[in-house]
Every structure is written in C-alpha cells, then in structure tokens.
C-alpha cells in the first residue's frame, strides 16, 4: 500500500467523466473547498453506506461552501444507476479509463485489488490538500474528520 498524499501537497489535477457526456476538472472548482472521497465501489450492501451517509450530511458540508466529489473506478452508467437508486445529490466521478489514474496520483489506488482506497482529501480554495485520511477498506470512516478539516480552514 502506498501512502496517500499528505496535507501541504498540491492537489493533482484530473479530468473525469461525471455523466456520459460531461466531464469535470478539479481546477474548475478552484476558489472553494473541495472534498474528494475515493471509495472502492458502488452498491455496498448496507444502509447508510459511505456515499449515502455523505448524501445526508451534504447540508453540513455546504455550510462551508464545500463541493463533495465521490470517485471510484466504476463507469459512468454504473454511477448513474447508483446515484439514482440512492438519490445522491452530489457528483460521482468515474476513474475508469485509464483505470484508477486519478486515484493513483493521490496514492489512493489499490493495484492488487483494482479499486480505490477509502481515502478522503479536503482541498482548500487554492488547491492545496489540508487534510487527508485513509480508512481501512472495510470501515466507513464517517464524516467527522471532514467536518473538522472544513472547520479549520481559514474563513
């Protein structure tokens, strides 16, 4: 397992598909805090899995004007079905081709498994990582770390 990018590092740029015909680049969000939530896969078989949980906590993130992006190696069609099923109100990005390339830049790709770590990054409005955390794949990290990191951003 490689270490994920630490606080102080500049957040690597990426451009990924959000929908079949739309892409999003990280740099488009410069000027506001961004939360990157890399996760292993859509369709975890539990109530309140990590993405469903963040969906509910979204209003708390929005108090800090932070944009949340979920990222996994699932394709756009899979993300679309998953987001629809769980009524997700934030974008899911497909790190699909070349597979895991964005996650790799953040040290958040598990080559042996072929999916992303459960890794979280809070990026400030200037594109600098201010907090990062890698959870054991089986443990949903919750949102307390993210909320604390957002809280400590300069106003």
Partner 1 sequence: MSTLKVPVGTADHIQGDENAALTLVEYGDYECPHCGHAYPIVKRVQKHFGKRLRFVFRNFPLNEIHPHAESAAETAEFAGAHGKFWEMHDLLFESQNRLGGELFQELAKRLKLASADLLAALEKREFLAKVRADFAGGARSGVNGTPTFFINGRRDDDPFEYVDLVAAIEAVLQSK
Enumerate binding residues for partner 1 (CB under 8 A). Answer: 46-50, 52-53, 55-57, 60, 86-89, 139-145, 147-148
Q: Which is nearer to partner 1, 78 or 133 (CB)?
A: 133
Phi, psi of 109 (to 5 degrees): -115, 130
Strands (E), the chain: 15-19, 22-25, 34-38, 67-72, 92-94, 109-110, 115-116, 118-123, 129-135
Q: Which is nearer to partner 1, 6 or 48 (CB)?
A: 48
Between the CA atoms of 10, 55, 113 and 75, what dihedral angle is there, to the nearest 10 degrees? -90
State in angstroms the smallest separation of the CB of 95 from partner 1: 23
Catalytic residue ranges:
47
State in angstroms the smallest separation of the CB of 142 from partner 1: 4
- Which residues are 16's β-sheet partners? 24
State in angstroms the smallest separation of the CB of 143 from partner 1: 5
DSSP 88: -
State in angstroms the smallest separation of the CB of 146 from partner 1: 9
Vertex 118 angle, CA 113 and 121, to 5°: 130
Query: What is 9-50 written as a DSSP string?
Result: SBPPP-EEEEETTEEEEGGGGTTS-EEEEE-S-S--SSTT-H
Q: Which is nearer to partner 1, 127 or 145 (CB)?
A: 145
Q: Which is nearer to partner 1, 130 or 140 (CB)?
A: 140
């Amino acid at each position: 397992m490689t270490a994920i990018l630490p606080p102080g590092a500049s957040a690597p740029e990426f451009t990924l598909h959000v929908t079949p015909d739309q892409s999003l680049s990280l740099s488009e969000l410069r000027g506001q805090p961004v939360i990157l939530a890399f996760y292993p896969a859509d369709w975890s078989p539990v109530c309140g899995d990590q993405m469903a949980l963040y969906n509910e906590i979204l209003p708390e993130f929005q108090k800090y004007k932070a944009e949340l992006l979920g990222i996994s190696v699932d394709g756009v069609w899979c993300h679309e079905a998953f987001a629809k099923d769980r009524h997700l109100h934030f974008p899911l990005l497909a790190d699909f081709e070349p597979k895991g390339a964005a996650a790799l830049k953040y040290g958040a790709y598990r080559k042996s498994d072929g999916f992303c770590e459960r890794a979280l990054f809070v990026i400030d409005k200037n594109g600098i990582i201010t907090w990062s955390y890698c959870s054991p794949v089986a443990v949903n990290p919750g949102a307390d770390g993210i909320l604390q990191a957002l809280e400590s951003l300069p106003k």
